[in-house]
């Protein structure tokens, strides 16, 4: 057995598993490893958008879990471990990281995404080696790696999915399933390490221990922290040193040393390179590269699949070859395009993600919203310092005119400009609508009204999710008259109707359920209360309102997208789930539930009893 030579090396050492997972505990116990379990207190709140890949996120989470335990034990448990093992498992599909579901509806959304598809299971593992030095110092060295396993779900019926969910098994499992138990009935095949899907890549872990304790890993373990004990027994401020990264990839696995994400201290005392700040400094360049490629419809040109050279792309968009080549290479570096060498020339082609979201004609295209971001949001944010000083929108400074309300400039202009704005709203709604519609079981409502429903993208998704529901889209006349441009061709739209009106001035259509998607955050508190009062009066007992917004974390620490959106300085504000609960309860919606979807928008359902 790979681990046997290592067990003797670990005799007399304090080995700690920084995880409460019974599956990881069982896997390590079964091979004879003796260890203590000290669950980590690290809150898994790392911003996924800062990581280049799911495996990077899983590895960093594992490292932070292990480091938290390694640093806590000398002061809380009064003993220093020799080795701390941290692990984090994530499931990824369609570019989305799936962790543990928060409830049954969340489990259903996860399993529906996996249904009939192949997905990846990544487990990041960190091994922290703790060394007590002279002067009461403790040095922490890290070896980390990840393992990838490909799993294919069979095509499963709704009945089977819900039967599995009702078993309770999905609730503490990454991706909402446990392959070692009932979840095995969902799986068609597995490519790679089966135990990795269970929660711990034992084979890869054993090989790493062998390198560490049999002489070949001296260059792998890199000091990530050195902490000294103060007179009162607490840790002094740590001094950090940065190591070099060594990566090896083969058969879906990689091992490496870890570089801390925050500014560190080198051995000589100088401050290490500030990676996070550098990332932010270049952020606007990355956004503009995406905007330019979308405006030039580069992703549409590369939709053919066989790829085009920079010269061919330049010819098709009437642009310079040098400029196009630099833009394409930048898009490759951002993970939006692939560059393949064919003989003496290089060709470019879309990544799977670009084909799904960046081609203007794809079902889930964000092209319209990207163009809107370039044409409208970019100019507004170039005057952000004035917005901060004045606490107001910079529309007049950016565009030379001040609209009387938020949407006058978009809705009461040329038809071409209106369509561009509506296309932006439509594209963001199509990407979010499915998760919003299924955030709760709304099948008990027979009629719904999408207040400010714009092009009907949300309404069409509700009609698809609930065959017994009829939905009315209520919006301004200037919007309603153009709805035919956005009607889906592959769906029965007979249960979706459009009614023109102003939701502040006119009576609302009668409905059992009122939908407010991306509405409340735009308006001042006074107008929010006016609208909710109208909805409350329109609702009969048992009626409800579904609010869909980006929900702030408690304490307003995130998500980053919501806090950055607030910098547009509209009269409205971003709110947390608990703030929306209080707001809805103040207007008679006494039963309120909150769901985080993992998409652009979350959902809050308030029922009037």
* Joined tokens for residue 537: 């009066």
pLDDT tens-digit map of 64-109: 999 999 988 887 767 889 999 999 999 998 778 888 888 888 888 8
Tens digit of pLDDT for each residue in 21-71? 888 999 998 888 888 999 998 887 788 878 888 999 999 999 999 999 998
Please return the burial class of 249, using the count of CB atoms within 10 Å of its CB with bins 0-12, 13-18 and 19+: exposed
pLDDT of 548 above 90: yes
The token pair that represents 469 in the structure block: 């529901």
pLDDT in tens, 530-543: 999 999 999 999 99
Measured distance CA(158)–CA(108) in Å, rounded? 9
Q: Is the pLDDT reported for residue 124 higher than 90?
A: yes
Angle, helix 525-538 to helix 577-585, in steps of 10 degrees: 60
Give CA–CA dist 292/281, Å, rounded. Answer: 19
Q: Do 258 and 57 contact (CB within 8 A), yes or no? A: no
Q: What is the pLDDT of residue 5?
A: 60
Over residues 240-268, the pLDDT tens digits come to 223 333 333 333 445 444 333 333 344 44
Mean pLDDT of 287-295: 96
Residues facing 158 on adjacent strands: none
- Cis previous bond, 559, omega within 30: yes
pLDDT in tens, 457-477: 999 999 999 999 999 999 999
Tokens at residue 99, please?
Answer: 């962790």
For residue 495, give both structure tokens: 């249960």
3-state secondary structure at position 153: strand
pLDDT tens column, 407-436? 666 655 677 888 888 999 999 999 999 999
Task: Please report where in the chains the tokens 């209520």 appear, as a residue.
Answer: 474
Closest CA to 514 of 572, 584, 568: 584
Quote the percentage of the chain above a pLDDT of 90.
51
CATH architecture of 4-98+119-147+180-272: Alpha-Beta Complex (3.90)
- Mean pLDDT over all residues of the chain? 84
- In this structure, are residues 170 and 114 in contact, taking their beta carbons and an 8 Å threshold? no
The pLDDT of residue 127 is 94
Q: Are 188 and 104 in contact (CB under 8 A)?
A: no
| 35 and 264 Cβ atoms separated by less than 8 Å | no
Spatial contact of 559 and 550, defined as CB atoms under 8 Å apart: yes
Query: Which tokens is 493 given?
Result: 């739209």
What's the token pair of residue 205? 């872990």
Residues tagged active-site: 88
Q: Which long-range contacts (CB under 8 A, 24 or more apart) does 26-30 make?
A: 27/195, 27/198, 27/199, 27/200, 27/202, 28/85, 28/200, 28/202
Q: What is the pTM of this model?
A: 0.59
- Given this structure, which CATH class describes domain 415-607? alpha beta
Q: Given a cut of 90, is residue 213 above it in pLDDT?
A: no
Tokens in use for 6? 């290592």
Give the whole-angstrom CA distance, residue 524 versus residue 573.
7
Strands (E), 178-310: 187-191, 222-228, 248-250, 253-256
Which architecture, in CATH terms, is 282-362? Orthogonal Bundle (1.10)
The residue whose two tokens read 């083969």 is: 250
> Alpha helices, DSSP H only, in 343-481?
352-357, 367-372, 378-381, 384-390, 395-399, 408-411, 415-437, 457-465, 477-480
The Cβ-side half-sphere exposure at 207, using a 13 Å CA radius, reads 11
| Domain-wise residue ranges, the chain | 4-98+119-147+180-272, 282-362, 415-607
Comparison of pLDDT for 404 and 416, the residue scoring more = 416
Cα(160)–Cα(315) distance, integer angstroms: 52
pLDDT in tens, 322-344: 999 999 999 998 889 998 888 88
């Amino acid at each position: 057995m790979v681990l046997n030579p290592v067990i003797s090396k670990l005799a007399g050492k304090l080995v700690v598993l920084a995880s409460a997972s019974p599956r990881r505990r069982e896997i390590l116990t079964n091979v004879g490893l003796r260890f203590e379990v000290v669950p980590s207190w690290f809150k898994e709140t790392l911003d996924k958008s800062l990581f280049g890949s799911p495996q990077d996120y899983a590895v960093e989470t594992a490292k932070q879990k292990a480091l938290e335990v390694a640093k806590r034990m000398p002061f809380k448990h009064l003993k220093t471990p020799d080795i701390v093992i941290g692990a984090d498992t994530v499931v990824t599909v369609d570019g989305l990281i799936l962790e543990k579901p928060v409830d049954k509806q969340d489990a259903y959304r996860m399993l529906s995404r996996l249904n009939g598809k192949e997905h990846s299971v990544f487990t990041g593992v960190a091994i922290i080696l703790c060394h007590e030095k002279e002067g009461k110092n403790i040095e922490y060295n890290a070896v980390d790696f990840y393992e990838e396993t490909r799993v294919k779900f069979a095509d499963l019926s709704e009945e089977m999915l819900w039967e599995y969910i009702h078993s309770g098994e999905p609730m503490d499992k990454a991706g909402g399933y446990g392959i070692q138990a009932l979840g095995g009935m969902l799986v068609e095949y597995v490519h790679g390490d089966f135990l990795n899907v269970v929660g711990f890549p034992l084979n890869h872990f054993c090989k790493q221990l062998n390198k560490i304790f049999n002489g070949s890993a001296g260059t792998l373990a890199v000091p990530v922290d050195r902490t000294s004990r103060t007179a009162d027994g607490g840790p002094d401020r740590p001094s950090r040193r940065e190591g070099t990264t060594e990566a090896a990839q083969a058969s879906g696995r990689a091992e490496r040393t870890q570089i801390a994400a925050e500014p560190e201290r080198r051995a000589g005392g100088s401050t290490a390179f500030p990676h996070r700040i550098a990332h932010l400094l270049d952020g606007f360049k990355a956004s503009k590269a995406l905007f330019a490629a979308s405006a030039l419809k580069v992703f549409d040109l590369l939709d053919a699949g066989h790829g085009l050279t920079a010269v061919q792309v330049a010819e098709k968009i009437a642009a310079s070859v040098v400029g196009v080549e630099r833009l394409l290479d930048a898009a490759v570096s951002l993970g939006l395009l692939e560059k393949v060498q064919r003989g003496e020339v290089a060709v470019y082609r879309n990544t799977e993600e670009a084909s799904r979201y960046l081609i203007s004609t794809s079902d889930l295209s964000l092209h319209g919203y990207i163009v809107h971001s370039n044409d409208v949001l970019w100019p507004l944010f170039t005057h952000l310092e004035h917005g901060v000083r004045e606490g107001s929108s910079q529309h007049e400074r950016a565009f030379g005119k001040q609209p009387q309300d938020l949407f006058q400039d978009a809705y009461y202009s040329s038809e071409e400009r209106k369509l561009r704005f509506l296309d932006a709203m439509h594209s963001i709604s199509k990407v979010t609508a499915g998760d919003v519609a299924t955030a709760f079981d709304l099948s008990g409502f027979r009629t719904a009204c999408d207040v400010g429903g714009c092009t009907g993208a949300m309404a069409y998704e509700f009609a698809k999710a609930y065959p017994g529901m009829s939905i009315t889209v209520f919006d301004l006349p200037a919007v309603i008259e153009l709805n035919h441009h956005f009607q889906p061709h592959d769906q029965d739209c007979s249960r979706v109707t459009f009614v023109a009106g102003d939701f502040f001035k006119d009576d609302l259509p009668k409905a059992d359920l009122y939908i407010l998607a991306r509405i409340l955050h735009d308006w001042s508190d006074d107008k929010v209360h006016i609208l909710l009062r109208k909805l409350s009066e329109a609702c009969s007992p048992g009626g409800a309102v579904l609010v869909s917004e980006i929900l702030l974390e408690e304490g307003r620490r995130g998500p980053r997208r919501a806090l950055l959106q607030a910098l547009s300085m509209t009269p409205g504000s971003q709110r947390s789930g608990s703030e929306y609960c209080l707001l809805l309860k103040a207007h008679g919606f006494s039963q309120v539930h909150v769901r985080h979807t993992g998409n652009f928008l979350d959902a809050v359902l308030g029922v009037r009893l």
